[in-house]
Amino acid sequence: AYFYFSRKKAWTPLDTTMMVAFLFSWFGDISLMLTPETPSDTSLMGIPKNKYFFLAGLGSFFVTQLLFIRAYSKAVDESASGKALLPKIYFAPFILYWIAILSYVLPPLRANIEKQSATIPVVFYAAVLISMAAVALTRFRKTSGKSFWLTFIGACIFVISDTLIAINFLALPEPGYYAGFLIITTYVVAEYLIAEGILQHQNNRA
């Protein structure tokens, strides 16, 4: 709603892409709310919880990240195509982060009979999540500084938020005491910064 009502110029396909991305984020939110966090966590407001909602949420956010990637690739200045690409070394930290988080999460995930079915989906989701942040980096000097930094920082915080989910609900026996608060706080901040970053690009175009 914030994104929609903050648009000040003619609606574009990029705006539609962002709105659909937020819609799939919402689907993912609902699915994760219906995923049990502990064995005794069986329902939400009378709605039965099921471990398979986690996979539904993962799939929804997978689509979200693909749509963000598409949006970032489109949210650049028309004259940016001739600008130099960033050196490949800039993307090494993203690859190393992907390897590190999977190295930490996958062993306990595979060892858990209840959760091991999520192993392959988690690997692919982690790849597209990291790619989303990496593509946000490629907008450097191809849009306004404010648009770039808002979106890039938001993308990185999104990675942190999902890392907290992976650690607390896939790697650890039980979530940390403040896990829920930290996850939702970083998630909301990430989505806001991404939305604001794209808005800055869209509303400030000549």
**Rounded Cα distance, 115 and 195, in Å:** 33
Identity of the residue numbered 88: K
pLDDT score recorded for residue 121 = 92
Q: Which amino acid is at 47?
A: I
- What is the C-alpha to C-alpha distance for residues 165 and 190, in angstroms, rounded to an integer? 14
Q: Dihedral sign, CA of 22, 23, 27, 29?
A: positive
User: Which amino acid is it at 113?
Assistant: I
The letter for the amino acid at 179 is A
Helix (H, G, I), strand (E, B) or coil at 183: helix
pLDDT of the residue at 56: 92
CA angle 80-25-101, nearest 5°? Answer: 80
* CA gap 197, 40 in Å, rounded: 41
Helix (H, G, I), strand (E, B) or coil at 43: strand
- For residue 150, the model assigns a pLDDT of 98
As a whole number of Å, the end-to-end CA separation of the chain is 24
pLDDT in tens, the chain (206 residues): 999 999 988 899 999 999 999 999 999 999 988 887 767 777 888 888 888 888 999 999 999 999 999 999 999 987 765 565 677 888 999 999 999 999 999 999 999 887 888 899 999 999 999 999 999 999 998 999 999 999 999 999 999 999 999 998 888 877 777 888 999 999 999 999 999 999 999 988 75
Lookup result for tokens 């949420």: 57
